[in-house]
Amino acid sequence: MYARDNVSGANPSQEQPTTAQVNAAVDAFRMLSDATRLKLMWLLSSGESDVNSLAEAIGVARPSVSQHLAKLRLTGLVDTRRDGRRVLYRARDSHVRALIAEALFHAGHEVSGLPRHD
């Protein structure tokens, strides 16, 4: 193998993301850049919840939580299901849950001074 074959250090089997993938990721990060939405996603990463429970848990008015959830749903980060008259929200899948966990674990290292690791 020649040095120039792997100058970037990228895994050779790893292809560049498509424009559509990059745009979807940017949209997701844009949604997660709001503190209220990130708190909601953290709660939804551990299970289903309704608007009232979420509003109470984070101390934000119900209409505001409802608007944030609608944005998260439109971006594909949150799914819903009906349980009688209630709508239950949850993080869409394991990729979304991992993204939220890693972002907040990274932040924990940043603010606590814990050593970084690979």
Confidence of residue 98 (pLDDT cuts 50, 70, 90): very high
DSSP letters along the chain, please? --GGGGTT---TT-PPPPHHHHHHHHHHHHHHTSHHHHHHHHHHTTS-B-HHHHHHHHT--HHHHHHHHHHHHHTTSEEEEEETTEEEEEESSHHHHHHHHHHHHHHHHHHH-PPP--
What pTM does this model have? 0.82
Q: What is the pLDDT of residue 118?
A: 75
- 76: pLDDT strictly greater than 50: yes
Q: What is the pLDDT of residue 2?
A: 45
Q: What is the pLDDT of residue 52?
A: 97
- 1: pLDDT strictly greater than 50: no
pLDDT digits (tens, 9 = 90+) for 17-31: 999 999 999 999 999
